[in-house]
Amino acid sequence: MYIFLILVSLLNFSYGGKLEVKNGWVRPAGKGMNTAFYFKAINNSDKTDTLLSVKSSVAKMVQMHETFSKNGMMGMRQIKVIPINAKSTLEFKPGGYHVMVMNLKKDLKIGSLAEFTLHFKYAGNITVKAPVKMPGD
């Protein structure tokens, strides 16, 4: 099972090879709770693309957020769209950009998979099956 998940997490989901989404993963969380989805989006094209939205059927609401630090306090704010420059990588990671997955419809247990569809301005929709795991696993 774990070998399968590792293989899935290493898969690249790409659109014509110009935009790849890889290393997606989700923190475990229970039904009704919130969690975060992280990944890398690699723009191999010669023009800037833009991540417009992320959708998933695992939660009642999904938004792009960034974590910020101000006066020693931590908070989060919604980001409507995120540009990805040509020939560059955008990383969603703990403590930074993350996809906020709110009010889960079911438990996301370690070892399961959660599907997300990322909508880019030029690359269109890219669907990712992300393993549910602890960071570093």
Partner 1 sequence: MKKLIFLIPAAFIIFTLSSCSSKPDVIYDLSNKDYTLINSDSSVVHFPGDFKGKTVVIGFIYTHCPDICPMTTHNISLVKHELGKQGANNVTYADISFDPDRDKPSVLKEYADVRGINTNQFHFLTGDKKTIKELLKDCNIYAIPGDTTIVGNDTSYFFIHTDRISLMDPEGKIRAEYKGSTANREELIKDINRIR
Place of tokens 């969380």: 29
User: Which of 14, 28, 44, 53 touches partner 1 by CB under 8 A?
Assistant: 28
Instruction: Determine if 47 is a binding residue for partner 1 (CB under 8 A).
Output: no
Find the part of the chain contacting partner 1 (CB under 8 A) among 41-49, 70-78, 82-90, 116-124: 70-78
Instruction: Determine if 10 is a binding residue for partner 1 (CB under 8 A).
Output: no
Instruction: Determine if 86 is a binding residue for partner 1 (CB under 8 A).
Output: no
* Residue closest to 104 by CA, chosen among 54, 34, 55, 38: 34
Structural contact between residues 21 and 118, judged by C-beta atoms closer than 8 angstroms = yes
Residue ranges in contact with partner 1 by CB under 8 A: 27-30, 33-36, 60-61, 65, 67, 69-70, 72-76, 94-95, 98, 100-103, 107-110, 134-135
